[in-house]
Structure 1
Amino acid sequence: MSTSPRNRTVVSCVLLVVSLGAGVTACGSGGHPLSGRPYDAADQISFNAPSGEREKVDPDKPLEVTADDDGRITDVTAVDAAGRYVAGELSADGGRWHSTSPLAANARYTVRVSTEDEDGAPGRETLTFHTGRPVTKKRLDVTFGPEAGKYGVGQPVTADLSVPVKDKASRAIVERALKVDSLPSAEGAWHWVDDKKLHYRPKEYWPANATIEVRSNLDGIKIGDRLWGGTAEPLRLTTGDKIVAVTDAAAHRMTVYKNDQVIKEIPVTTGMPGYDTRNGVKVVLAKEGTVRMTSASIGAADFYDLTVHHSVRVTNSGEYVHAAPWSTGSQGYANVSHGCTGMSTANAQWFYDTINEGDIVQVVNSGGDTMAPFGNGFGDWNLDWKNWSAGSALVGGTKEVPAPQEYARLRPESV
């Protein structure tokens, strides 16, 4: 009787399998399948796009998916070969889905549709199609800035457009496709400086030692009438320590912070009356070292022509932080410069070695105007977050952004 234990076990297993199989069949016929395998919904839905590669879909037209009377659409996912998803809207009854974001031209799309039949059983269908090339050759390319590298926590990201974009709806398409990601993460927004330039900054300064990735998803996307998105090279930036130098013009003193801790206090002199240093936050533009500064560059009545060392530029029009050995007797006591922030040679060398492009130089309690947000360097941080967000086509809505002030003087301004 060798058949006992093993054969009994086998027979039991066979009976179990049959039992489960019968259960699945019964549930399937009743509309409550235990299996997750969906049925083929090809006969239940229709597309307004031909499948395959021979016939191209017009990217100007929205994508539509429609269900027949025997079922309803529960979900649609449309994505191109570059990983760009198409936003869409599903009707309340599940009868129709249509795209709400534009398709890219000359792209391959995969559309996955989930359905339910009258009994609630799930169905699936997948469609692939290709869009044609745009009829027009007019395209919008994007150039990101600054150059890839390491910067201070105040450095804005810039996007220069090859073609002006004025229409608000077109601006929203452009802005939605310009992606900025940081690690650690930081809330931020684009701001339209003018029709061809955008700046991006976080709500607060970038995190210290962060990595920032910038890219465009505009390639092949329709932006407006006869205007299509072009290419853009991605950009990668990193930040260093948080360096902020705050100059109190009334106290004639600069306090330098590293990661929110005071690391040095420096006696300084700033602009005398009539040449007052601008108030506000300025982002370091460059470390220029030795610079020749003349009175002619600003039309000063008193003549000077000086070679200045350890010069750090903070405005396009020529405001610097630099060594000023001729005014050491006034540093910490009086403001005697033509607009720059001057300090002793030793302190200027320390500052030059400590500060980097993208770091923050802030001036308070000066008689000067506040630095303009745009047009004279990076004064972006002089807009509060509400006003900064108002310059976004996505966040701010309808507020128009004034054109930046033009500055003619690009030479060193003052000492």
Structure 2
Amino acid sequence: MSHSSRTSRVAGCTLVVIALGVGVTACGSDGNPLSATPYDAAEQISFNGPTKAGQKADPDKPLEITVEGDEGRITDVTATDAVGRHVSGELSADGGRWHSTSPLAADAHYTVRVSTEDEDGAPGRRVVTFDTGKPRAKQRLNVTFGPQAGKYGVGQPVTADLSQPVKDKAQRAIVERGLKVVSSPVVDGSWHWVDDKKLHYRPKEYWPTNATIQVLSNLDGIKINDRLWGGTAKPLKLTTGDRIIAVADASSHHMTVYKNDKEINTIPITMGKPGFETRNGIKVVIGKEYFVRMRGTTVGIAAGTSESYDLPVYYATRVTWSGEYVHAAPWSVGDQGSANVSHGCIGMRTSNAAWFYETVRPGDIVKVVNSSGHTMEPFGNGFGDWNVDWAKWRKGSALVTGDPEGPTEVERARLRPQSV
């Protein structure tokens, strides 16, 4: 069928209703159907879905667009919902069929733009809208992002806590695709499943200084499985400050503090003595407390023994949930810089502890080297995420199916040819 015959047929500017029950006028914007270009592809293509106006599409079923007969082909399809979420899809090699490959959201309004061409190569267009029905499942997967909005150090991971467990890898992939982390400047990063209900996100390297990090979920209304649909999530905004890294050396008994890769202080310290060795590895500051009452019983030391203690501690910067701090230790000043005598914390004179307390913020890095203690746990005792190498970290993503050291989605986007 030629382009001219399509144009003459819509000269009456009638309302055409397609399979999804959507009305779209077929005349040009100036009211003259002869000037309408490209042509209206309503009769060239068909959609699956409801056959009557007012009906809603089943979000469980993929969207499918096909060419009627052998008249031309589909050249492009874009489908988005009212909040801007795109539906990915695949177009057959001959252009005869397009189908969605990502799930539709329930209770959502979609706009589909289809580009075609006829057997003469003339371009056609069709824009349709439709609504999907409400989810039948009662369970919703809500997401809570962390930490709280605010300014953090460059080592702060992003967390996502799920209201329901997700064990199946294919279902985890659906969840992970819906959790978005966008940073400015752009960095390469990845989610990592800590367990069935928790994910952590971190870049390949530390966050840039003075970065802005936006975290959001596109899961609302998306089917996870037959009983579980995506629920709500409050977006999160974080920013980073300077790059503060403190390196505590158990053999030299000194801590060197760097700001934006420049040394700004070296402090005599004492660390964990034999039997109470400080954990090695990279730790992230998780909190600051001006005053803490430290008791040996909280870390398994029996009261009344030679190792028991009950001390008021000031300027305490916390790096593990199990009780490791960087803090003032006036009782051990004589050993600071020469011996390790603590029960695992990093101790220093009060003036130095006050300086450190005022210099760092949550998310800054404390790296312990040359201790004979165990390596900091990756999860469950604070943030030991940076002790996991990048290849292993990416293996914790449900979206990584090939080489874990291969390009991330951000890197692949950079490699794609750009139109000019």
Normalised by the size of structure 1, how large is the TM-score? Answer: 0.86
Which of 336, 340, 344 is equivalent to 1:335?
340
Contact 1:52 1:130 in 2 (8 A): no
Cα drift, residue 83 of structure 1: 0.4
Distance 1:59 1:339 in 2: 55
1:321 pairs with 2:322: no
Cα drift, residue 397 of structure 1: 6.5
Letter in 2 for 1:335: N
Residue equivalent to 1:20: none
Residue equivalent to 2:202: 201
Distance 2:210 2:49 in 1: 47
178-187 vs 297-306, which moves further: 297-306
Distance 1:172 1:205 in 2: 25
Residue equivalent to 1:157: 158
Gaps of 5+ in 1: 1-23, 29-34, 400-415
Q: Deviations over 1:109-145 (max 9, x none)?
A: 1111111111111111111110000111111000000
Residue equivalent to 1:267: 268
Distance 1:36 1:306 in 2: 83
Q: 1:125-274 maps to which residues of 2 (within 5 A)?
A: 125-274=126-275
Which SS does the other structure have where 1:307 is aligned? strand
Cα drift, residue 50 of structure 1: 3.6
Distance 1:77 1:100 in 2: 12
Gaps of 5+ in 2: 8-34, 405-420
Which SS does the other structure have where 1:141 is aligned? strand
Distance 2:165 2:226 in 1: 13
Cα drift, residue 294 of structure 1: 1.2
Q: Which contiguous aligned blocks of 4+ residues in structure 1 show a shift greater than 6 angstroms?
A: none
Cα drift, residue 51 of structure 1: 7.6
Contact 1:72 1:93 in 2 (8 A): yes
**Cα 1:199/1:36, change in 2 over 3 Å:** farther
Query: Equivalent pairs: percent with the same residue?
Result: 71
Which SS does the other structure have where 1:352 is aligned? helix
Residue equivalent to 2:108: 107
Residue equivalent to 1:43: 43
Which SS does the other structure have where 1:214 is aligned? strand
Distance 1:158 1:219 in 2: 18
**Cα 1:54/1:377, change in 2 over 3 Å:** same
Letter in 1 for 2:182: D
Cα drift, residue 186 of structure 1: 1.1
Letter in 1 for 2:59: P
Residue equivalent to 2:60: 60
Contact 1:49 1:129 in 2 (8 A): no
Which SS does the other structure have where 1:159 is aligned? strand
Letter in 1 for 2:66: T
1:304 pairs with 2:309: yes
Letter in 2 for 1:90: L
Letter in 2 for 1:356: R
Cα drift, residue 289 of structure 1: 1.3
Contact 2:299 2:322 in 1 (8 A): no
Q: Deviations over 1:160-214 (max 9, x none)?
A: 0000000100000000010001111111000000000000001000001111000
Residue equivalent to 1:386: 391
Q: Deviations over 1:269-323 (max 9, x none)?
A: 0000000000000000100111011121223342211001100110000000000
Distance 2:308 2:46 in 1: 81
Cα drift, residue 70 of structure 1: 1.0
Letter in 2 for 1:377: G
Distance 2:297 2:100 in 1: 60
Which SS does the other structure have where 1:303 is aligned? coil
Aligned length: 369
Distance 1:170 1:52 in 2: 33
Letter in 1 for 2:351: A
Normalised by the size of structure 2, how large is the TM-score? Answer: 0.85
**What is the root-mean-square deviation of aligned Cα atoms in Å?**
1.9
Letter in 1 for 2:177: R
